[in-house]
Chain A
Amino acid sequence: MNKTWDFHGGVHPQQNKAQSNQLPIVAMPPPPQLIVPLNQHIGKVARAIVKVGDYVLKGQLIASAQGFVSTNIHAPSSGHVSALEEHVLPHQSALYGPCIIINTDGKDQWVELNPTHNPKALSKPELLNIIQAAGIAGMGGAGFPSAVKLQPKDSIHTLIINAAECEPYITSDDRLMREYGDEIIKGIQLLQQLLEQPKCLIGIEDNKPEAIAELSEAAAQHADIEVCVIPTKYPSGGEKQLIEVLTGRQVPHGGIPANIGILCHNVGTVKAIFDAVVLGQPLIKRITTVTGKTALNAGNYEVLLGTPVADVLAFAKVDLAQTSRLVMGGPMMGFTIQDTQIPIVKSSNCLLAAADLELAPVADHHACIRCGQCEVVCPAELLPQQLFWFAKAEEFEKAQDHNLSDCIECGACAWVCPSKIPLVQYYRYAKGRVKTQNHEAQLAEHARLRFETREQRLVDEKLAKEEKRKARATAAAAVQAAKRAANPTAEDPIAAALARVNKQKQERQTNSTEKSPEQEYKALKTAAAITRTKLNKTRQALVSAQAQDHEQTVSLQATVIELTTKAEVAQAELQAYEVKLGHDPELEKSLQISVAKANAGLRKLQKSLATAEDPQQVEADIVKATTAHEAAIRALEHQQANPTEKTIPAQES
């Protein structure tokens, strides 16, 4: 006999198993309608491969697994697919999920099966393929795909079969073991074959003597399969607790049993594996306990997956009028259901129809009195009270620091709580919030990555564009250079054009500078004259207008003022220009005077010639005067032509 250990805490609630474990399992006939959810397991939702109107046979694949952690789903009975629609799921949330609805035809006709007559000859991959194809998920409650669990990374030295069935009321595994002992042992042998022959321990609580006897007998010839009877204590059927009880070892925090070389499977799963391998039947049915005070035919029923709960309850003659609370699962870990149209799925082990006061009422709870009872019973050795305070104060980080994730939600703490605090709901709430927060953090990280990638891409695109533009520019320059090289005499047209333009500009500039003194002086003079003339004209017009008392007087006056200013400006400009040029009005005047003097002197001499005593002397004087006159004129002309030069006035002779 294998030595057993004990685990911390645990409680001893009323067993209440006798109501349902007395009678043999009754197979329930196919209901008129089956509701088969596409997600009956942990992992990705399977994908429907049938259409509305398709005829399906019992055991036919109707939805295929998506990805590694997922399972196939088969038609539980023959009939027509009437809908693929969202339906209420057997889930705490009572939310809708995708389901295949099959209207059964009552023939319950099997698809062609592939039984294996000599399973020992199967190779490991073949075995694994069969289990995978049969869509087997853990039937103890969690619904983890069995094929995934059977491919551990670590080598397995101990296979543990969980037959503890520690939760009150539930007897489906008990009845299964009593009636299918041989099949279970054969299923275990298949698992051993798949896992390099590990030692197998079957953990059964001592409240199931018939099952222990049956299995012990079946396992008698097998040295490597041992039936271990363990004391009845809730929750010894928890995976980690059972491992500790049977091996004395603890699964590390955050780890899985495979990390310490142990694999744990539910006894129902083992039976399903036997059915799949030896009989070739996929997982389409399970044994569900229907119990509670209002269930008149309490017992265990072999139910097709997808059977609505309402049909099962009717078959077990549950008096719904007297039922105060309907629970799926056991009283400790199950959840209350409102809608009886939800279907039985791979992990539905019990339907509990409780009468008034049979279960502790969901009452208002009182304040925590810090009695510490919860810590005493916690099988995971946590501090439930601390976790409760943290969950209540929404301090989820602290709750995580107190190993919230190790809570198995067994409900032992809530069961002993004198204040009736729904502790498990607080932990579930905290776990849910932590999960949501982690998910959001992941989404945020993902979004950041995508945002940064996009920013980088935009920058890169810009740079690439710039690079392209530069490349095009250099290419064009190269083409130009090649052209020039091919024809060196040819002028660069752009350079030539530029040169022409520059030349013209220069010419214009030089012309303007050369002409400026004369032309500008002239232009200024003209402008001044024009303004003066205009001013005079306008003045005259104004005078006449004033005389006639014309209405234009005002505007004319304004014009006069304007023109006066303009004339003054023009005059000032002219004078300024004259000053700038060094024009000397005095000098010109003196030159003019000298010319006039010379002229006068000449005339006098010409007159005196007639009366002269010495005509020769006079004639000589006339020639002299003429020369002086001409010189004076030249000087004046020169001064007028070149106002900037200071012509020295001819000396008066």
Chain B
Amino acid sequence: MEILYLAVVILALLALVFGAILGFAAIRFKVDGDPIVDQIDNLLPQTQCGQCGHPGCRPYAEAIANGEAINRCPPGGESTIKNLADLLDLEVIPLDAEHGSEAIRTIAYIREDECIGCTKCIQACPVDAILGAAKQMHTVIVDECTGCDLCVEPCPVDCIDMLPVQVTPASWHWQQPKQLIASSSSPHEHGATEDE
């Protein structure tokens, strides 16, 4: 009988000790926030364009973490979908056409002669990339522009153009070499491999 009591006491003590360790670890190594949201957010292009239907990239990252489809980001395009699918262990799905199509990267340009200085585009810009003041000409800080399109709509005189980003010798890079001849693969082989 004594042995039984002893066993119970020892087990109770062990339970207490491990409970204390677990409790301490839970506080000491507490993870703030939802790290998966940060990881998703890091994969999004941060254009803050709202084409996914959310007011910015982080809200969309939160929505994805809660189970929303990963194919609603046109600026990110296929590569973002692929990265998200890798991260979340999901199927790679084509871009949802409802939210727009993948286009080449553009940058906003203000036709400065026509600008009336209404500041509406400045208020619309999610990254403060437009410089100007009331009744003064505005201009886009090209290096800061994410090409989100949000400034085009509010402009009362339609003086904002979205122009494709120019390829410079610094940004240029080699293309993938053309097709093999003695291979059974299709001309779009690299695309096919991507989908595997």
Contacts and interface: CB of A to CB of B under 8 A. Distances in A.
B126 A429 contact: no
Nearest to B174: A428
Contacts of B175: 429
A366 B176 contact: no
Interface in A346-395: 364-367, 391-394
Contacts of A444: 44-46
A366 B47 contact: no
Could you say which of A95, A428, A444 has the most chain B C-beta atoms within 10 Å of its C-beta? A444
A95 B56 contact: no
A451 B126 contact: yes
A433 B180 CA distance: 21
A426 B180 CA distance: 13
Nearest to A428: B174
B40 interface: no
Contacts of B46: 443-445, 447-448, 451
Contacts, number: 96
Contacts of B178: 364
Contact of A89 (B48, B146, B169, B176): B169
Contacts of A447: 46-48, 127, 144, 146
Contacts of B146: 443, 447
A549 B183 CA distance: 107
Contacts of A433: 173
A97 interface: yes
A365 B189 CA distance: 15
Interface in A401-446: 421-422, 425-426, 428-429, 431-433, 435-436, 439-440, 443-446
Q: Per DSSP, are chain A's interface residues mostly helix, strand or loop, or mixed?
A: helix
Nearest to A364: B181
A431 B179 contact: no
B180 A367 contact: yes
Interface string B135-157: 00000000010100000000000
A454 interface: yes
A89 B167 CA distance: 13
Given A95-B168, A392-B193, A448-B41, A431 B173 contact: yes
A472 interface: no
A39 B171 CA distance: 14
Nearest to B191: A394
16 contacts: A39-B169, A91-B169, A95-B169, A366-B180, A366-B181, A392-B190, A393-B190, A425-B177, A426-B176, A426-B177, A429-B177, A436-B173, A444-B46, A447-B144, A451-B46, A451-B127
Interface of A: 39, 89, 91-93, 95, 97, 364-367, 391-394, 421-422, 425-426, 428-429, 431-433, 435-436, 439-440, 443-448, 450-451, 453-454
